[in-house]
Structure 1
Amino acid sequence: MFPGASTADESNPGADADYVVVGAPLDVSTSFQPGTRFGPGELRTYAATFEDYHHRTGTHFSALSVTDYGDVRAWNDVPAYLEYLNGVVTDISWNDATPLLVGGEHTVTVAAVRALNPDVFVALDAHLDLRAALDGDPLSHSTVTRHALDVADEAIVVGARAGSEEEWERAADSDVTVIEPSAVADWTPAFGDADVYLSVDIDAADPGYAPGTGTPEPFGMSPRELRAAVRAVAPHAVGFDVVEVNDRDDGQAPTLGAKLLREFVHTHHADG
């Protein structure tokens, strides 16, 4: 159970709730350091240390109608798993609640984006994730932004600093915006009335802050920069996830991921 949340109704997720945490421990395509299957449990564990009160918004997390659906047990048939996860997120959305997906590898984001059909996909991510496939796998964790663009009109990748030559060429198209780490502090998004989906790949953070991730990439964002980006996007978001956390550090990555999830909820509730 995510600390401060209550148990969700598994037969009707999102009923009598404003936010629903869903664990998605998929760990199939991680290409360097596996372990994302442990991400949902790690976030729940390290969130136990946080104060319930949020000073900036004056809200208590436990009073914000957050429920925890538990984990959607993963299996190796990724298309089938994403279809099932899509159904869970769709049920939450139909109940007018906001899904909070906790991965798991980044591929789980595809299910949520397909379910919610946002206008804009925003990813805080070290990588462009615009590959058509990785090692022949079209549903690899490195293809997420490309799949999101099958649904969304626009993708914004914040903190990106790595990608193949083909990915950077694709990122030059008009439907993709890349905010490199050096420009994050000056980024002021303007979404208007657009529905936005916000995905936080924990490797957007510099690995000095969050080493527990599958493909760490130096020269990344600081925790304060990540928090500022989450605060900027949250009021416009119809869904949120934090992904790519594994169990290969001393709690730095899950602590940061859990704090960003909490920051999203407080900001979405207060400013949305």
Structure 2
Amino acid sequence: MTFPGAVADREAAAYALVGAPLDVSTSFRPGTRFGPRRVRDFGEQFDDFDHHTGAHFSNLGVYDHGDIGPSADTAEYLTYLESAISEFDRDGAVPLLVGGEHTVTVAAVRALDPDVFVCTDAHLDLRESYAGDDLSHATVTHHALDVADRAVVLGARTGSEAEWERASEGDVTVVPPEDVADWTPDLDGERVYCSVDIDAADPGFAPGTGTPEPFGLSPRELQDVVRAVAPHAVGFDVVEVNDRDDGQAATLAAKLLRAFVFAHADG
């Protein structure tokens, strides 16, 4: 199935949705391979109309490319995914990536070359490697900073000692959960990539994720962040949804993807 309301042809697309069901490095509860399917499935229930912007999702030029299935080699897969995202970008379509584990974000950031990487995440993801894997889901912000000038991590509440030391440097801003509601983006004139790791949400709202971490963000706080960042963004993803709940995480992910498109198109 395609994402509900994603009815545009590729040639006419303003937005290109790509499923990336990578599920290799998840360190606790696997299942992100089912993320793109579940996000599409649980997005079926929503009304086409958005009262905040007065727009209909089906009129905004969203094309669903389907899933790009992973290969056995993660580095090879990221290269292929990067190429596909770059092609959509060259054609004038804003990429919308649906994971899959957070590692897929690396391909999008490499393809789109943003100035600023903004993500919501329970974890800092600043490790150089995890369990011997330098393309682990725990290394995403580290890799993003190979491309972007700076990173803003919203909702982070855990990390290793070395990660917190790295986060204290000038090119990283960490906004703890209790301060996210008052955060105002300072992004004018910069190319921004927006990544939503669903585990930024408190697991009471989105239990279907690989490494749940208590004391997180509310759905409303996540929606406000996405709406605020969207007008500045050259790409978006929502990742780390798995099949370990009754659809709460996928429902939230689908709603946040729609919120991004509505706010971006309106901006």
Does the pair score TM above 0.5? yes
Q: Give, in whole Å, the separation in 1 of the partners of 2:92 and 2:115.
A: 18
Q: Give, in whole Å, the separation in 2 of the partners of 1:182 and 1:76.
A: 40
Stretches of structure 2 lacking an aligned partner (at least 5 in a row): none
SS at match of 1:31: coil
1:75-94, aligned counterparts within 5 Å?
Answer: 75-94=71-90
1:120-269, aligned counterparts within 5 Å?
Answer: 120-269=116-265
Instruction: Quote how far apart the aligned CAs of 1:74 are.
Output: 1.1
SS at match of 1:157: strand
Deviations 1:250-270 (A, max 9, x none): 000000000000000000000
Q: Retained in 2: the 8 A contact 1:28–1:76?
A: no
Matched residue type, 1:200: V
Q: Retained in 2: the 8 A contact 1:39–1:103?
A: yes
1:40 to 21, 36, 55: 36
Matched, 1:102 2:94: no
SS at match of 1:4: coil
Q: Give, in whole Å, the separation in 2 of the partners of 1:7 and 1:34.
A: 32
Residue of structure 1 in register with 2:6 after alignment? 5
Deviations 1:138-196 (A, max 9, x none): 00000000000000000000000010000000000000000000100110111110000
Q: Give, in whole Å, the separation in 2 of the partners of 1:135 and 1:8.
A: 42
1:30 to 13, 26, 33: 26
Deviations 1:100-147 (A, max 9, x none): 000000000000000000000001000000000001100000000000
Q: Retained in 1: the 8 A contact 2:8–2:61?
A: no
Stretches of structure 1 lacking an aligned partner (at least 5 in a row): 10-14
**Moved segments of 4+, more than 2 Å:** 6-9
RMSD, matched Cα: 0.7
1:112 to 108, 111, 116: 108
Q: Retained in 2: the 8 A contact 1:21–1:67?
A: yes
Q: Give, in whole Å, the separation in 1 of the partners of 2:263 and 2:162.
A: 36
Instruction: Quote how far apart the aligned CAs of 1:8 are.
Output: 5.0
Q: Give, in whole Å, the separation in 2 of the partners of 1:30 and 1:233.
A: 27
Q: Retained in 1: the 8 A contact 2:27–2:211?
A: yes
Scaled by the length of structure 1, what TM-score is found?
Answer: 0.97
Residue of structure 1 in register with 2:69 after alignment? 73
Q: Give, in whole Å, the separation in 2 of the partners of 1:131 and 1:257.
A: 25
2:55 to 43, 53, 59: 59
Deviations 1:14-61 (A, max 9, x none): x31100110000000000000000000000000000000000000000
Instruction: Quote how far apart the aligned CAs of 1:214 are.
Output: 0.3
Q: Give, in whole Å, the separation in 1 of the partners of 2:16 and 2:111.
A: 15
